[in-house]
Structure 1
Amino acid sequence: MNFSVYWQHADAVSKTLYFVLLVMSIATWTVFILRLMGTRQLKQQANIHLTEAISKLKAKLAPLGFDQRKAVAEQALLRQISVEKSSAEKGVSVLGTIASIAPFVGLFGTVWGIFHALVAVGKSGQAGLAQVATPVGEALIMTGLGLAVAIPAVLAYNICVRFNRTLTNDLQDHAHGLLIDTMLQQDSSAPKEQLKATDKVFVGGQV
């Protein structure tokens, strides 16, 4: 298979599909590299944002009862966790989309190339194996390109999803600690039974 020969005989549709796959590949690696570079920073910023969210409520929590303070603090932390999860998921949908459609784009390019190759063979009047194998083999390049784009996108998507799950668990643990500290600071005389109730917070993202 000679890609230069294929490119010379490719029409506008085949060349357009090639550039589409090229853009997908660039987008995949760009998103993945940015996510890898920002992984540690994203986790640190998320923890800081949680701390800031609960710190802003301390003055408002003072006049409330224990149960009310606990409920308000829980809602503030859960809301901030949702914001951080949304921020962490940026770009992940792009990876999933590319991983899903790249093989089909490559397959469509192959089908299109084979169609034109067979039409050309039919017009030439020579239907031997030698005349058919070369153009058909060259058209299969598009399938290979589609897989070359899709496989890294799948791996990058799975890595990002796993990171997001780990981040969510870490945020829930951090929020749990913040909630305990806040309740202790707001009411140092609160019964231990009430404080133990906070142990059920953020299990599966629910109170």
Structure 2
Amino acid sequence: MIVNPSTSLGFGHFIAQADVVGKALLVILLLMSAVSWYLIVMKGITQFVRKKRSEEFLRFFWNASSLDAVHNEISTHGVRDPFAHLTAHAMHAQAHHAKYGAAKLEEAGTAQDFLTRTIKKVLDEETMRLENGLTVLATVGATAPFVGLFGTVWGVYHALVAIGMSGAGTLDKVAGPVGEALIMTGIGLAVAIPAVMGYNWLTRSNRVLTAKLDAFAFELFTFLSLGQSLKGDNVRPLPSGSRPVGKASPAHAA
């Protein structure tokens, strides 16, 4: 019986004929794909929840009658988003310095100096939290194509060695094994492309949120430094969806 050679070629045949190195590279690519998709899905869900909660807090903040009302809201419902986290730490730092003064080295300087350091520290913490896991996505996107290419080179090498030892160098004998080896390059690209796209999307979202958080930090520092409620002479209460007049954008939407 004559067997069509094309029916014996394909991904399954390639895996069956691959040695330990080839199979190890395939496992590495599959693990890289699983990790990248896990990060994309989990961080995507986290971004959505964080954005929704931030919008709710900012809506309450800019419509609150005073900073005391904001403090009561945070004390009641806790901190669930970066903006509430920043506000809680900033208000606590102001109250702590007013009550105890510069009792420790980290509290040295004026109340505004201590407040500035606290806000910068919280901003750095939020930035690190947002960027957590992005290095893995960037690494997968940058290295997966080369891992697949190495698997292709390794497979082509062994295929050519086997063909050379058999003495059959015709095109139909060479094209099949070489074509099978190219599968590894395709797998590498299939792993890298989602990782790169996910990295770019998450980086863009983080950059937008960080910019809005910086703008909000400026407004918060101003309110706390003035020591006035939102009903003071210089700051008027804000209707829903409006922004402070003459101020930088307070980032109503996360």
- TM-score computed with the length of structure 1 as normaliser: 0.85
From 168, 171, 174, the counterpart of 2:213: 171
**Among 13, 16, 20, which residue is 2:21 paired with?**
13
| Cα deviations by residue, 1:129-185 (Å, 9 ceiling, x for unpaired) | 110000000000000000000111111111111112112111111211211111222
Counterpart of 1:86, as a letter, is M
Alignment counterpart, residue 144 of structure 1, candidates 186, 189, 196: 186
- Answering whether residue 96 of structure 2 is matched by residue 60 of structure 1, we say yes
1:102 aligns with 2:155: no
- Between the aligned partners of 1:187 and 1:147, the Cα distance in structure 2 is 56
- How far off its partner does 1:68 sit? 2.5
Contact residue 94 and residue 111 of structure 2 kept, 8 A: no
1:131 and 2:179 aligned: no
Q: 3-state SS of the aligned residue for 1:183? A: helix
More helix by share: 1
Query: Counterpart of 1:114?
Result: 156
C-alpha distance in 1 between matches for 2:225 and 2:95:
13
Q: Which amino acid aligns with 1:60?
A: H
Deviation (angstroms), 1:187: 10
Matched, 1:41 2:49: yes
Q: Which residue of 2 aligns with 1:204?
A: none
Aligned-partner SS, 1:95: helix
Counterpart selection for 1:51 from 70, 74, 87:
87
Q: Structure 1 stretch 36-45 or stretch 6-15: which is displaced more?
A: 36-45
Cα contact 1:99–1:149 (8 A) shared by 2: yes
Offset of residue 124 of structure 1? 0.7
Give the CA deviation at 1:78: 0.8
Identity of aligned pairs, percent?
A: 41
Identify the residue that residue 112 of structure 2 maps to in structure 1: 70
- Paired with 1:144 and 1:110, the residues of 2 have a C-alpha distance of 9
Partner amino acid for 1:73? L
Structure 2: distance between partners of 1:154 and 1:177: 35
Amino acid in structure 1 at the alignment position of 2:34: I
Equivalent residues in 2 for 1:182-201, closer than 5 Å: 182-185=224-227
Amino acid at match of 1:167: L
**What corresponds to 1:4 in structure 2?**
12
- Per-residue deviation at 1:110? 0.2
**Gaps (5+ residues) in structure 2?**
1-8, 55-80, 102-108, 235-246, 249-254
Which residue number in structure 2 is paired with residue 89 of structure 1? Answer: 131
Measure, in 2, the Cα distance between the counterparts of 1:141 and 1:40.
Answer: 36
Q: Does 1:22 align with 2:64?
A: no
> Which segment is superposed worse, 38-47 or 71-80?
38-47
Give the length in aligned residue pairs: 191
**Equivalent residue number for residue 159 of structure 1:** 201
Measured on the aligned residues, the alpha-carbon RMSD in Å equals 2.4
